Chains A and B, each alone.
Chain A
Amino acid sequence: MPDGMSVAEARPGARARSLGALPRDGLLLVLLAIVPSMLGGFWIYGIGVCMANAVAVLSVSFLLRYGGEVSIGQSFFLALGAYCVAMMEREVGVSVVVSLPVAAVVGVVLGLAFAWPSRALSGIYLAVATMALALAVPELILLLGPVAGGYEGLYVSRAPLVGVSVDLQRYYLPLVALAAVVLLLAHFRRSRQGLALLTARDHPRAAEAFGFSRGYARLAAFAISAGIAAIGGALLAFAASTVSPNSYTLWTAIYLLVGSVVSLGSLGLFGALVGGAFITLVPQVLASWGDWVPILYGLALLVVVVLGDRPAEALTKLRKRLAGGRGG
């Protein structure tokens, strides 16, 4: 009898979530900041790549959270950012601190260029359209010819700071960038554009009635997501020190999607790191599994479909159902 429920009964436990994750994230940052003084080179390299991947996972989670859409084409924007860094180093001789902002802008522009013609698509249709992007990546890179290094790829060696160990820079730049992206996204959540995108995702007509068209919402969500992916790609190129066409295949895009689901679509530091760690480590572990890998990823994609665009909520609901509760 929901109609008879009094206002007082409905209130407990209903408070909006506050910024309770901040102390934990702070601790996590401190921990990550002192890692290089405790662990060896292999770990520094691995965690650096993992943090770059975390930014890439955030780009998928952002689109899921603010656009309500699944993209299987993020590897395109990842490759864009990575090749921006590698090619600008080779052609212009600048380091990642110069090429990363360029990568972000190019990512946003190409994100808009893709979102505009596909703005009427949604759900599985948009996902398939984005998949076309992912499939095109390796061929596009080879089409660029020697300037992109062909099959071999390019080496990213120039570090922003002189006199500081390059290995440490390959670790700390992704760390700083990841923390910055998380902070920027936390601020975005409270902005008027953030409120508009979240409303448009659940109630496009309500968003329209208050001045934000569906086209605006789609373009904005996609462009920002593409920009984040390009930043992730730029970081990945620097952290891993190489770029090559076979790092940006359809599988990369699927890894990213699965990573986002494993992180429960989180836009926080911890969730992003879980997703980043997942997509950094699992391919290594699975390398010995052979034929089972595609099957596992098929299953993982099924999980994506079942959990929908609110993985955390869907999981809570599932847990309640398994516990036999009827939701009170």
Chain B
Amino acid sequence: MAEAATLAAERISLAFGGHRVLSDVSLDFRAGQVTGLIGPNGAGKTSLFNCLTGLYRPQEGTIALGDMRLEGLAPARRAREGLARSFQHVALCPDLSVIENVMFGRARLGRSGWASAFLPLPRGRAEAADARATAERILARLGLAAFADDMPASLPPGTQRMVEIARAIVADPRVLLLDEPAAGLNAAETRHLTEALRALAGPDLVMVVVEHDMDLIMEVCDRIHVLNFGRLIASGTPAEIRADPEVVRVYLGDPDD
């Protein structure tokens, strides 16, 4: 297991043309905690998420995982530093079975070369067997063992989402970034997801959840950051966030409504 480190974003500013989507945002995501990132539509939470994954390069500010600076690194390089993510729109390969999709999550760790890709050489075989065993273990842990040989398209959306999470955790990431994991799920599936996310939290894992489903956020998260109009307006425990008058005003809404 990799050592625990905090994922910290310092003074992030991001603009598209003249349109400013993030202004001077500083926040951190700590190991051992599940941190929620919430806010109304257009608040900049997806933009911040994309800055963390490397899809966007902020014009100002720094992003660091422990001592490692990330802001200049491409997404593929960040994966090597231990970042893993899921996608809002499920991005599993339709030609690969469930277990192959999960095994792909470990592909970058492989050391076998191109000869092993084409020939059944001992090293490549050992690596593939190891990747399969690890993927099987992760699938079992998430209650997906029965679907290992199914094709993703044949599974309901909630199960597909869980497969994506399995793919993200199969390489023992230091940071797990989940982009609206409950989007499109029904109540039962969301329930299952909530339990699974709680079970995934570990002392060394930084877990970030961008989500609209407040019940899930309040139940799963240890800490929550609230964004509005590209600024951080509150950070705290679920209880503190619920009690914050500004958060209630701009986002959670009046309980009497």
Please list the residues of chain A having a beta carbon within 8 angstroms of any beta carbon in chain B: 2-7, 10-11, 13-16, 184-185, 187-188, 190-196, 198-199, 201-203, 205-206, 208-213, 216
Contacts of A13 in B (CB 8 A): 154
A-B contact pairs, 8 of them (CB 8 A): A3-B186, A10-B159, A187-B118, A193-B107, A202-B91, A209-B53, A213-B75, A213-B76
B156 touches A198 (CB 8 A): no
Q: Determine the distance from Cα of A205 to Cα of B154 in the docked complex, in whole angstroms.
A: 22
Known contacts A3-B157, A209-B83; 13 further A-B pairs (Cβ under 8 A): A3-B185, A5-B156, A16-B97, A16-B149, A188-B118, A190-B128, A191-B124, A193-B114, A203-B92, A208-B54, A209-B84, A210-B108, A210-B171
B156 touches A2 (CB 8 A): yes
B104 touches A14 (CB 8 A): no
Chain B interface, number of residues (Cβ within 8 angstroms): 54
Contacts of B107 in A (CB 8 A): 192-193, 195-196, 210-212
Known contacts A210-B104, A211-B79; A203/B93 CB under 8 A: yes
Q: Give the residue of A6, A7, A10, A15 whose beta carbon is less than 8 angstroms from that of B149.
A: A15
B38 at the interface (CB under 8 A from A): no
Contacts of B42 in A (CB 8 A): none
Q: Determine the distance from Cα of A2 to Cα of B103 in the docked complex, in whole angstroms.
A: 27
Known contacts A191-B128, A192-B110; A211/B80 CB under 8 A: yes
B239 at the interface (CB under 8 A from A): no
Q: Determine the distance from Cα of A283 to Cα of B160 in the docked complex, in whole angstroms.
A: 47
B117 touches A205 (CB 8 A): no
> Separation in Å of the A247 CB from the closest CB of chain B?
28
Secondary structure of the A contact surface, majority rule: helix
Contacts of A6 in B (CB 8 A): 156
Contacts of A4 in B (CB 8 A): 186
Please list the residues of chain B having a beta carbon within 8 angstroms of any beta carbon in chain A: 53-55, 74-76, 79-80, 83-85, 87, 91-97, 100-101, 103-108, 110, 112, 114, 116-120, 124, 127-128, 131, 147, 149-151, 154-157, 159, 167, 171, 184-186, 189
A192 touches B91 (CB 8 A): no
Known contacts A187-B119, A191-B124, A203-B91; A14/B155 CB under 8 A: yes
> Separation in Å of the A179 CB from the closest CB of chain B?
14
A212 touches B119 (CB 8 A): no
Contacts of B94 in A (CB 8 A): 202
A199 touches B75 (CB 8 A): no
B118 touches A213 (CB 8 A): no
> Separation in Å of the A12 CB from the closest CB of chain B?
9
Q: Give the residue of A191, A208, A210 whose beta carbon is less than 8 angstroms from that of B74.
A: A208
A10 touches B80 (CB 8 A): no
Q: Determine the distance from Cα of A10 to Cα of B147 in the docked complex, in whole angstroms.
A: 10
Known contacts A16-B151, A212-B76; A192/B96 CB under 8 A: no
The residue on A at minimum CB distance from B113 is A193
Contacts of A10 in B (CB 8 A): 154-156, 159
Closest 8 CB pairs of A and B: A211-B108, A14-B154, A16-B97, A211-B79, A191-B117, A192-B107, A203-B91, A206-B91
Q: Determine the distance from Cα of A255 to Cα of B140 in the docked complex, in whole angstroms.
A: 48
Contacts of B151 in A (CB 8 A): 14-16
> Separation in Å of the A7 CB from the closest CB of chain B?
6
Q: Determine the distance from Cα of A185 to Cα of B117 in the docked complex, in whole angstroms.
A: 9
Counting chain B CB atoms within 10 Å of each CB, the highest count among A187, A190, A193, A206 belongs to A206
B150 touches A16 (CB 8 A): yes
A198 touches B93 (CB 8 A): yes
> Separation in Å of the A187 CB from the closest CB of chain B?
6
Counting chain B CB atoms within 10 Å of each CB, the highest count among A6, A191, A192, A199 belongs to A192
B87 touches A206 (CB 8 A): yes
> Separation in Å of the A231 CB from the closest CB of chain B?
12
Q: Determine the distance from Cα of A194 to Cα of B131 in the docked complex, in whole angstroms.
A: 14
> Separation in Å of the A18 CB from the closest CB of chain B?
9
Known contacts A3-B184, A209-B53; A199/B93 CB under 8 A: yes
Contacts of B112 in A (CB 8 A): 191-192
Known contacts A192-B128, A194-B117, A202-B93; A211/B76 CB under 8 A: yes
B84 touches A210 (CB 8 A): yes
The residue on A at minimum CB distance from B119 is A187
> Separation in Å of the B198 CB from the closest CB of chain A?
21
A195 touches B120 (CB 8 A): no
Contacts of B103 in A (CB 8 A): 192, 195
Q: Determine the distance from Cα of A10 to Cα of B116 in the docked complex, in whole angstroms.
A: 36
A187 touches B186 (CB 8 A): no
A209 touches B157 (CB 8 A): no
A7 touches B159 (CB 8 A): yes
B150 touches A11 (CB 8 A): yes
> Separation in Å of the B104 CB from the closest CB of chain A?
4
Q: Determine the distance from Cα of A94 to Cα of B154 in the docked complex, in whole angstroms.
A: 53
Q: Give the residue of B104, B147, B156, B159 whose beta carbon is less than 8 angstroms from that of A195.
A: B104
